Structure 1
Amino acid sequence: MTLSRATGAITRATGAIISHRGGSFLWPENTLVAFRNSLALPVEQAECDIHLTADGVPVVIHDALAERTTDGRGPIAAMTAAEVARLRIRGAAEVGVPTLAEVAAHFAGRRMFFRVEIKADAAGTPYPDVVARVLAVLDGAGARDRSIIIAFHAPTVAAAWAAGGLAGAAWLLEPGTLRDLGPAGAAAVAVAHGLPAAETRIDGADEAYVAAMRAAGLGCGAWGANHAATIDRALALGLDAFATDDPALAIARRAMFRAGMTW
């Protein structure tokens, strides 16, 4: 994927690699260490996840609760930004939870696109004013035009995309949601929200999904392409982009695919 200077939107080129959570098979997920290392790789995008603290600061962490990835316990939404800053990443005691501002600063003016997944709280409820807060941080870093907003909550993504100035946006579809709606139905929901793209987990992506998104004029991608078989599947489907926890493996598999090598 490349950025169109005329429109500020991403133009399609199949097989763009997204370093998921900064490449969580290789480095501690959603940390500055991961994003700095991802920026050194020949991938097109790096992805992070954000939650809001009790004082409204977007911080980069996947789960609504602290315990899986840090030495803390309880909801991120119940902690202040200062309290989150004191958390240490499990298995990497010298590494903490960064703010979105700290991560976004690395992407301003860079070739790589910065993908931000806006999460909901522990009850699955969207955070109040989260879109405005995220966009304000991206603007402060000078990174809005290099950023892509994604979320499972379609109105959240739609609000971000409607605000303008982003490189892209995508609605995330769980495979179960995709099955319930059907590919054409899912595409219709994305179109109704004014969105440019939708994405699903790689095990839910197939030719019918790609065809429905293409027919609706939407970009399409997937996440969870973490091993050779699923990376190869993403490439064979001709997805615009796919997220992987092993960007180094994805780089190697894509090179083989593009060279026409058999596996």
Structure 2
Amino acid sequence: MSGAIISHRGGSFLWPENTLLAFSNTYAMPVEQVECDVHLTADGEPVVIHDALADRTTDGRGPVAAMTASEVARLRIRGAGQLGVPSLAAVAALFARGRMLLRVEIKPDATGRPYPEIVPRVLSVLVDAGMLGRSLIIAFDAPTVAAAWRAGGLAGAAWLVEPATLRGLGVAGVAAVALAHGLPAAETGIAAADAAYVAAMRAAGLGCGAWGANHAETIDRALALGLDAFATDDPALALGRRALIGQA
């Protein structure tokens, strides 16, 4: 669907990011997709948290990778009462009850390197939840996305391209890298997405999307560009803007 809305981290302008509260509220909204971030614990459990370090969003300190799954489960989100860090299994189970697509962004560790075994572990959780066919894998590391996509069964996958990378490679270069990795889509920040980017992706047979469409101006830009999907921290506003533009 052109212009599919992705609730980024469960809608972090509206609720504490990457929490079951945010995901439950997103589940009740008529958006097409929801996005979460995953890191791997010391004992190999994919957990839903944006940063490699627990410090910013929780009452814990240090790398998530140095903690066991049970230790991560005891962390509490800063300023959010008793809300804790969910496992990917819990998030996948929530969305297994509906039709919304789940986007899982696979994050690197605190040194910026891919976690060994994170791809098969994430895919295993999605299979167990019955969500593999309704999930997409995204990452800034193209080989990570490619490994997940090659495994088969996913609804989609996308390489996340930093605007600086897009400027450096050019739209043709980005398309070439995505194709060289066998990927179906490439996505970038909304400020870097323009008609040339969309045209190049379409010409290469690639899907295209963007993140960071968080205010009326950028949401309207995303809709006008005809992107396949765009991520927003304010899914309520995005739904309202899409409805308004659709009525115009």
Same fold by TM-score greater than 0.5:
yes
Q: Match of 1:20?
A: 8
Asked if 1:95 corresponds to 2:95, the answer is: no
Q: Match of 1:7?
A: none
Cα distance in 1 for residues equivalent to 2:134 and 2:197: 27
Cα distance in 2 for residues equivalent to 1:212 and 1:75: 39
C-alpha contact 1:60 1:97 (8 A) present in aligned 2: yes
The letter of the residue matching 1:77 is: A
| 4+ residue runs over 4 A deviation | none
1:1-263 to 2 correspondence within 5 Å?
A: 13-260=1-248
Query: TM-score under structure 1 normalisation?
Result: 0.93
Post-superposition Cα deviations, 1:24-62, rounded to whole Å, max 9, x if no partner, equal: 011110011111100100100000000001111000000
C-alpha contact 1:107 1:146 (8 A) present in aligned 2: no
Cα distance in 2 for residues equivalent to 1:75 and 1:207: 40
* Greater Cα shift, 201-210 or 105-114: 105-114
Instruction: Find the residue that maps to 2:83 and give its secondary structure.
Output: strand
Cα distance in 1 for residues equivalent to 2:97 and 2:74: 30
Instruction: Find the residue that maps to 2:81 and give its secondary structure.
Output: strand
1:111 shift after superposition: 1.2
The letter of the residue matching 1:251 is: L
Cα distance in 1 for residues equivalent to 2:213 and 2:128: 32
Query: What is the aligned length?
Result: 248
Cα distance in 2 for residues equivalent to 1:124 and 1:155: 14
Cα distance in 1 for residues equivalent to 2:172 and 2:226: 18
Post-superposition Cα deviations, 1:165-199, rounded to whole Å, max 9, x if no partner, equal: 00000000000000001001001100111101010
1:93 shift after superposition: 2.0
Cα distance in 2 for residues equivalent to 1:158 and 1:186: 15
Report the aligned-residue RMSD.
0.7
C-alpha contact 1:109 1:143 (8 A) present in aligned 2: no
1:109 shift after superposition: 4.7
The letter of the residue matching 1:66 is: A
Unaligned 5+ segments in structure 2 are none
Instruction: Find the residue that maps to 1:157 and give its secondary structure.
Output: helix
Query: TM-score under structure 2 normalisation?
Result: 0.99
Post-superposition Cα deviations, 1:183-239, rounded to whole Å, max 9, x if no partner, equal: 010011001111010100101101111011000000000000000010011001110
The letter of the residue matching 1:154 is: A
Cα distance in 2 for residues equivalent to 1:70 and 1:35: 17
Unaligned 5+ segments in structure 1 are 1-12
Cα distance in 1 for residues equivalent to 2:236 and 2:155: 24
The letter of the residue matching 2:150 is: A
